[in-house]
Amino acid sequence: MSAAELKNLPSGASDMAHIVLTFDNNKLASALYGQFDENLARLEQKLGVDIRSRGNQLTIKGSATAAEQARRALDHLYAILQKGGELAQSDVDGAVRMAVAPDDQLTLPTLERKGKMAAAQISTRKRTIYARSLNQDAYMRALERSELVFGIGPAGTGKTYLAVAHAAMLLERGMVERIILSRPAVEAGERLGFLPGDMKEKVDPYLRPLYDALYDMMPADKVERAIAAEVIEIAPLAFMRGRTLAHSAVILDEAQNTTSMQMKMFLTRLGENSRMIITGDPTQIDLPPNTKSGLVEALRILDGVPGAVTVRFNDTDVVRHPLVAEIVRAYDRDGKVARGLGTEG
């Protein structure tokens, strides 16, 4: 184990474990514990274990399963600190999600089966981010391996952020020559022509989440220079018609708001040595009534097509405020009731 020296000592009860972790860097151990041991308290709350700290040593007591899950989560968090990262509550929660996954889920395309967690990561010179759920892990690995990836699921699951982060990494490493970010300009019934300003000013509010992810992964001056040089291009979907997008990382966000013709047009833009990532939430379609979503249709038509991978997120993957996950579940329950499916399942 890279982060700590581990002893697993029986405590006398058949289903109880007593695990002792010794960390080799006192400063990192302190960061691991958190202010007033808040990270340890979070792990105790989530996993139902007892964790005691004494200097650079931790003692974990609890059921054998829960204690091992806590060990794996702590090992993962300590590895982040060893690589120069910082920990937030969301990192702790993500480590718990990954640690509690059943072993039969820890095989590719998610995690290789092993006692030590090896979450997928995306790294640029500015920042490294790690998968915080099994579906995020599967998504990040799919982005590495596939030329066409669909990320489908509710808000707050990281599907757009991870797509842009991956594109930034590819650009930095010279694996693509440019990044193209696009969204259909359909939001809550508004139309671009009625918004003030020139085309850039009209479009920018729709593309703000894409900008935010770029600035997280790359220095602001580099982002601005790349946009000015059209190495990073941010444009509404309508501007894609007639183009061949070669040597590029191409992202279509909010794809549930594409029509069938728009989606087909976009998919057929894929050129040589390019990656295409399409994200969306089929439960939040803002198209006019009786207009078929191009995303929903594409998922059906391309099911089973070699080279096209779909990763589906759900409420357990929400990495924003915990209340967001509850909101997603509440709307999902209400939707099932409206469709006559009841509240079960």
Fold of the domain spanning 4-102: Ribosomal Protein S8; Chain: A, domain 1 (3.30.1370)
Burial 54-85 (b: 16+ CB within 10 A, else e): eebebbbbbebebbbbbbbbbbbbbbbbeeeb
Q: In angstroms, how far is CA 102 from the centroid of its own chain?
A: 20
> In the chain, where does the domain assigned CATH 3.30.1370.10 lie?
4-102
Amino acid 202: pLDDT:
58
Distant-in-sequence, close-in-space partners of 267: CB < 8 Å, separation ≥ 6: 148, 276, 298
DSSP state letters, 280-298? E-TT---SPTTPPPHHHHH
> In the chain, where does the domain assigned CATH 3.40.50.300 lie?
121-313
For residues 258 and 237, is the Cβ–Cβ distance under 8 A? Answer: yes
Q: What is the pTM of this model?
A: 0.74
Least Cα distance to 200 among 236, 154, 159, 155 occurs for 236
- Name the CATH superfamily housing domain 121-313: P-loop containing nucleotide triphosphate hydrolases (3.40.50.300)
Q: pLDDT in tens for each of the 345 residues of the chain?
A: 334 444 544 444 457 888 888 888 889 999 999 988 999 999 999 899 999 988 888 999 988 888 888 998 898 899 888 888 888 888 888 888 888 875 544 444 444 444 455 678 898 888 888 888 889 989 999 999 999 999 999 988 899 999 999 999 999 999 999 999 988 875 544 455 555 555 556 556 667 778 888 998 999 999 999 989 999 988 788 778 778 889 999 999 999 999 999 999 999 988 899 999 999 999 888 888 888 999 999 999 999 898 899 999 988 888 766 676 677 678 777 766 766 655 444
For residues 311 and 138, is the Cβ–Cβ distance under 8 A? Answer: yes
